[in-house]
A and B are shown apart, each in its own frame.
Chain A
C-alpha cells in the first residue's frame, strides 16, 4: 500500500450542535488526484478548511504527511499549497506584487514567481493590476499562488467554479499535469462529477457531512446498475421464457429490460429464444453515465 498523504479519523465539525462534517475518514494516496465530491453544502469546504488548520475540528484527528496537524501545523502547511473557493488576491496590486506579498512570507527565491507565472501562462499579463483580470485569469493566479512554495500537496477547493468551458479545460489540464510533472498530490473538490472524472484517480463523495463513497473512479463505475435491453419479435412470450430461466424483466415499449444481468445469463437467454424461433433484433447494454451513478450514490439513504 502506498503512503497516505492525508488521513483523517472520525473528523467532525459541529456548528451549534448540527454536524457539518460527521465522522469523516478521508484517505488520500501519494501521487494521486483525489476528487472530493458532493452537492453544495455537503461539508466539502468545511473539511478543506479543517485540513488547512483554518478551523478547528470538534473531534477527530487529521494526519498529513504522517504527522498530526495539531502538533506540526506550520511544518505541514509549509508543504501544502491551497486555493480555497474564490482566489484571494489584492486587487490593487499586479500579479507579481500579489505573489511577492506571499513570497516574502514563504521565503522562497524571487525566481520562483516567474516560474509559477510561467506554469499558469500568465507571464505576459504579470504587470497588470489584478482588478482587471478575467475570472479564469484570477483562478490561474490563485493556482500560481498555491504553487509558489513548492508544495508536495495541493488542496484546491472548487477551482473551476464559475468558469466557462475553455477556462475549465485550462485548469483541468493544469491540475492533470501536477502529479506527473511535479510529483504533487492533488485534492480537488467540486460539486460536478463531470469536472473531476477526467482527471481524478480516486473520488470521495460526501453527502450531508458523511462519506458515502470513497474509491477509484473505475470502481465507482462498477457500482452502477446496468440494464440489458432486448428487442425481439414476440416480446410477451419471450418474457415468459426469461422467467423460466430465472430472470425477471419488464416490458417497456416492446423492449425487454433486464436489470443487472450477468453475461452467462444473457447468453443462455439468447440461445433459448433463438431455439424457440424468436427473431432477435437487438441486444444492447444501457450504460449509465457517471453523473447518473453520482446521483445514485448521493440519493441513497444512509
Chain B
C-alpha cells in the first residue's frame, strides 16, 4: 500500500521543480568548490593540499555538506507537503482507502530517495571536478562515495522534524523559516561538543567515531518520524 502511494507521489511531484532542486543543489556545492579551487588554485593545489589533492578537495567540499543537507531537507519536505496543501488535497487523499501510515511513510520515503539522489550527484560532480582540475585517477573511492551519504544519515532527525512540521502546517512559513535558520546557524555550533545534534552530519564524515554519529542520526530520525506519524494518524483533516 505504501508503494502504491509512493508511486502516486512520484507522479504528483512532476513539474513542480523538485527534481530541478535535487540536481541543482549538489551541483551548486560542486560549483562553489570549482570557484574555490579556481581562485585559489596556486595556494590550495600548490601548497595546502599538495601532498593529497583528492583529500583536500573532499575536505573543502565536506564543510558545505551539512548546511546543504539541512536546506535540502527543509525545501524538499516543504515542496512535497505543499503539493497536497496547495489545493487542500488532503481531504481527497485521506478519504481514499489507504491508511494514513502508508501516506506518511510514502512521503518520508520519497524525501529520503530524492535526497539520496542528491548525494550521488554530489559524489559524481566532485569526481568530475577533481578530474578536470587534473588530480588524476588515483582517487579515494570510499570517501568520495560516503561524503554525501554519511552526513545525510546523520541528518535524518532534521528531515523527520521538517517533514512532520511541513505536513502539519498548512502555511509553510514556519517550517521553512525554522529549517533555514537551522542550516544557517549550524556552523556556529561547531565550537560546542561534537555530540550536539547539529554537528552530527559533519562528525559522521570526519570523526573517528563516525559510525556512532550515523547510528544516532538514524535512531533519533526514526524516533521523530514515529512521533510525527502518530500525530499525523490522529489529527483531524480540515
Given contacts A92-B15, A93-B12, contact A77 B89 (CB under 8 A): no
Task: Mark A residues whose CB is within 8 Å of B.
Answer: 49, 52-56, 74-75, 77-78, 80, 82-93, 97, 100-102, 104-107, 145, 149
Contacts of B97 in A (CB 8 A): 74-75, 77-78, 105-106, 149
Question: What are 23 A-B contacts with C-beta separation under 8 Å?
Answer: A49-B91, A49-B236, A52-B91, A52-B95, A54-B95, A55-B238, A74-B99, A75-B97, A77-B95, A82-B95, A83-B92, A86-B87, A88-B93, A91-B87, A93-B14, A101-B8, A102-B8, A105-B4, A105-B8, A106-B97, A107-B4, A145-B92, A149-B97
A84→B12 CA distance, assembly (Å): 20
Contacts of B236 in A (CB 8 A): 49, 54-56
Which 6 pairs, one residue from A and one from B, show the smallest C-beta to C-beta distance?
A88-B89, A78-B97, A55-B236, A88-B92, A54-B237, A104-B8
How far does the Cβ of B84 sit from chain A's closest Cβ, in whole Å?
8
| Chain B: CB-nearest residue to A155 | B95
Contacts of B11 in A (CB 8 A): 93, 97, 100-101, 104
Given contacts A105-B98, A106-B96, A149-B97, contact A92 B16 (CB under 8 A): yes
Interface flags, B140-159, vs A, CB<8A=1, else 0: 00000000000000000000
Task: Mark B residues whose CB is within 8 Å of A.
Answer: 4-5, 7-8, 11-12, 14-16, 83, 86-99, 234, 236-238
Q: A86-B87, A101-B8, A107-B4 are known; give 6 further A-B pairs, CB within 8 A.
A: A84-B95, A88-B88, A88-B93, A92-B15, A104-B8, A149-B96
Given contacts A90-B87, A90-B89, A97-B14, contact A53 B8 (CB under 8 A): no
| Chain A: CB-nearest residue to B102 | A105
Contacts of A85 in B (CB 8 A): 91
How far does the Cβ of A6 sit from chain B's closest Cβ, in whole Å?
14
| Chain A: CB-nearest residue to B106 | A105
A86→B86 CA distance, assembly (Å): 12
| Chain A: CB-nearest residue to B234 | A56
| Most chain B CB atoms below 10 A, which of A54, A87, A93, A97 | A54
Contacts of B86 in A (CB 8 A): 91
A86→B89 CA distance, assembly (Å): 10
How far does the Cβ of A78 sit from chain B's closest Cβ, in whole Å?
4
Contacts of A100 in B (CB 8 A): 8, 11
Contacts of A107 in B (CB 8 A): 4
Query: Are the C-beta atoms of B15 and A82 separated by less than 8 Å?
Result: no
Given contacts A55-B237, A90-B12, A93-B11, contact A102 B96 (CB under 8 A): yes
How far does the Cβ of A228 sit from chain B's closest Cβ, in whole Å?
49
How far does the Cβ of B81 sit from chain A's closest Cβ, in whole Å?
13
Contacts of A97 in B (CB 8 A): 11, 14
A53→B97 CA distance, assembly (Å): 10
Contacts of A91 in B (CB 8 A): 86-87
Query: Are the C-beta atoms of A86 and B8 separated by less than 8 Å?
Result: no
How far does the Cβ of A112 sit from chain B's closest Cβ, in whole Å?
14
| Chain A: CB-nearest residue to B11 | A101
Query: Are the C-beta atoms of A84 and B14 separated by less than 8 Å?
Result: no
